[in-house]
Amino acid sequence: MSQRDWPLYEVFVRARNGMSHRHVGSVHAADPAMAVEMARDVYTRRSEGVSLWVVPSAAIIASDPRDKDVMFETMGDKIYRHPTFYDIPADVKNI
Amino acid sequence: MYTQGLNIEAGDKSIPLEDRNSALMQRFQSRIDAEEKVEPTDWMPEGYRKTLIRQISQHAHSEIVGMLPEGNWITRAPSLRRKMILLAKVQDEGGHGLYLYSAAETLGISRAELIDQLLTGKAKYSSIFNYPTPTWADVGAIGWLVDGAAIMNQVPLCRCSYGPYARAMIRVCKEESFHQRQGYEIMIALSQGTAEQKRMAQEALNRWWWPSLMMFGPSDAASLHSSQNMAWKIKRVSNDELRQKFVDVTVPQAEFLGLTVPDPDLRWNGETGHYEFGEIDWTEFNQVLAGNGPCNRDRMKKRRKAHDDGAWVREAALAHAEKRRARQAMTAAAAE
């Protein structure tokens, strides 16, 4: 009974005009056009979106989870990148 | 729907009990204790992965097989309004199955393997879908009781420690409330109708009450692996606790309809603030799980037939996509 799966696509939905597309899940489809149709039926049955992106899952290049600390934790102590790091006297306005 | 995939039968060794004291395990458990979500690329114990594949896939299979008892009534719905609603509901169940299959696939199993497990009988689906829907009132009772019980089960799953499952459950729960309300509305219409319609509603309640209570799975005392699944925050509320909650909210709804819950032992306990109810027929439950319910064979026969009948479509779509890709490549090469 085994057979080859249709390729996997990741689905992104733009909920409203002015918002970015957001990942909502994935679908299997034989080709990109079918992936759009499948994504519409599976992820927007209740007006959840005004636009769809589908991307072959194999095309996504992700950061390696083993590099998480090296990649992201080094930013933890760089608090001077945030405006609240700086003391400005209360008398100074509009800054 | 449902957490029956978490109920392991005695003697089933497919899911190992883990050594809780290893360093990796302790780190994993402390993340769970801190309410962190586990994502697909994170390290996880083999037992955690296997439990989730089993639970999520059986949940998905339940949604897919669950389309059959109600799909049976789409062509015979009593009005266009009811037909549109039922079509939308059955389409939702298919959609829920697809969200859940995708979540299971993040654990490293293919869609084809998952479907194979259902069709060969290796994987189970919820016991509830092995009961027949002889009248239109059964469609109402399924929405009211079966989807009601599903909501009880699924709401705590939204807080499951495995991220993709929790996210799929949030989507499912948002859509499930419509299912229950449309079912209860059918029951209201019937119970306020003619004497014969009211009798239909009562008979459907009689058929679905006990199987709905069985959906919550064996009693806590008889649940194997339950404490491990609680510790891993896969399951967050026990079977008996969920079942009690369901009875407490559903009995007043039956009273509103003027229908009688088919349990002579049912009574309100003012001290505990809960309904007491009779003993579930666990022999029946085990028979249904073992494949001997009223509709087990028919459901699987229909699923296999649908899968086999669709095989040529799946193959043709792939062949067409490949042909078109090849043709585009040729056109592109000629243009250079």
- Closest listed residue to residue B161, CA positions, set B151, B150, B169: B169
The residue among A4, A26, A54 with the most chain B CBs within 10 A of its CB, best to mutate, is A26
Instruction: Calculate mean pLDDT across residues B1-11.
Output: 60
CATH class of A8-85: alpha beta
User: What is the per-residue pLDDT across B150-162, written as a single tens digit (0 to 9) for each?
Assistant: 999 999 999 999 9
Inter-chain contact A28–B42, Cβ cutoff 8 Å?
A: no
Please indicate whether residue B227 or residue B315 has the higher confidence score (pLDDT).
Answer: B315
- Closest listed residue to residue B42, CA positions, set B34, B33, B32: B32
Residue B99: list chain A partners with CB under 8 A.
Answer: 25, 42
Q: What ipTM is given for this predicted complex?
A: 0.84
- Closest listed residue to residue B57, CA positions, set B144, B164, B140, B149: B164
Inter-chain contact B314–A6, Cβ cutoff 8 Å?
A: yes
User: Hey, what are A55's tokens?
Assistant: 């991307």
The predicted pLDDT at position A77 comes to 86
Angstroms from A20 CA to nearest CA on chain B: 19
Put simply, whether A28 touches B (Cβ < 8 Å) is yes
In the beta sheet, which residues pair with residue B274?
B269
User: What is the per-residue pLDDT across B184-222, written as a single tens digit (0 to 9) for each?
Assistant: 999 999 999 999 999 999 999 999 999 999 999 999 888
Contacts of B274-280 with C-beta under 8 Å, sequence gap 24+, read: B274/B244, B274/B247, B274/B248, B275/B244, B275/B247, B275/B248, B275/B251, B277/B213, B277/B247, B280/B210, B280/B213, B280/B214, B280/B219
The residue among B27, B102, B117 with the most chain A CBs within 10 A of its CB, best to mutate, is B102
Share of chain B above pLDDT 70, in %: 93
Residue A60: list chain B partners with CB under 8 A.
Answer: none
The predicted pLDDT at position B5 comes to 65
**Domain extents in chain A:** 8-85
Put simply, whether B175 touches A (Cβ < 8 Å) is yes
For A8, phi then psi, to 5°, come to: -95, 135
Put simply, whether A58 touches B (Cβ < 8 Å) is no
Angstroms from B175 CA to nearest CA on chain A: 9
Res. A1 pLDDT band, cuts 50 70 90:
very low
The predicted pLDDT at position B196 comes to 98
Res. A73 pLDDT band, cuts 50 70 90:
confident
Put simply, whether B27 touches A (Cβ < 8 Å) is no
Instruction: Calculate mean pLDDT across residues B241-248.
Output: 97
Put simply, whether A65 touches B (Cβ < 8 Å) is yes
Put simply, whether B328 touches A (Cβ < 8 Å) is no
